[in-house]
Structure 1
């Protein structure tokens, strides 16, 4: 099988994750149905994304709840929730994909498949997560002291 472009694989993964939100089946069962029933070739990267989402659902949903101010998961559109799950997993687990590319692709999927508010919601949640996860700026770190091969933060009085 020829590999798809990453954007096409993300779209395929989104469709699998979205379909999973309606069914009480494993992602492997959904992929198998797609391959047999619809004669669909599932891209390896799409499989990786969909499986990653399936394997980390509790963490993903907790993270989405944390960064989606005042929104409960059951009130979110399934489209937005599926896109958020997929993009968060990609941001957190695929080092070869720039964060900006993952967020941009998520926003584009939300524009294509979601309602008129989904793309800004997806962008806001992912942006909040990335900002919170960003390493501290060096100038904001306290000074370090060396003590017996251990680094400790010095406390200013």
Structure 2
């Protein structure tokens, strides 16, 4: 499974998690049963990392979203932003620019056109706030 496929499957699970009160393990089981979402150890690692850090990530979203509070952001965009910010802040293997580009691609695929600019703007603002060595260390 490519990194893009891992991210896409993780996005679907995180979005589903935002819509339901079920434990993530239930979502994994349902994904296996329906065979619509591929779940492997890398997908689980990304999903569980995002869920674990969601409080910190949501604070970042709130501080870099100039126009909307976290409660006013669609769940699709929250899921996309959470993955990208998790990768930017906690995944040393994903370059900052790659995380932003992949989030924009997810947004183009699953969200409204206007939301793609919003996602890009939030992530670009976050990237500009990082120390220069962080943005180039992953590149």
> For structure 2, which runs of at least 5 residues remain unmatched after alignment?
134-139
**Contact between 1:80 and 1:114, CA under 8 Å: does it hold in 2?**
yes
1:97 aligns with 2:94: yes
Which protein shows a greater Rg? Answer: 1
TM-score (norm 1): 0.79
Deviation at 1:134, TM superposition (A): 2.4
Write the mapping of 1:4-153 to structure 2, written as runs, cut at 5 A. Answer: 4-35=1-32, 37-39=33-35, 40-135=37-132
Aligned length: 132
> For structure 1, which runs of at least 5 residues remain unmatched after alignment?
137-157
> In structure 1, what is the Cα distance between the partners aligned to 2:98 and 2:80?
14
> In structure 2, what is the Cα distance between the partners aligned to 1:43 and 1:87?
19
- Deviation per residue, 1:46-96 (Å, 9 max, x gap): 211111111111111111001101311121111111100111011111111
TM-score (norm 2): 0.88
> In structure 1, what is the Cα distance between the partners aligned to 2:70 and 2:117?
16
**Contact between 1:80 and 1:110, CA under 8 Å: does it hold in 2?**
yes
- More RCO (CA 8 Å, sep 6+): 2
Higher strand share: 1
Match of 2:137 in 1: none
- Mean alpha-carbon deviation: is it higher for 127-136 or for 106-115? 127-136
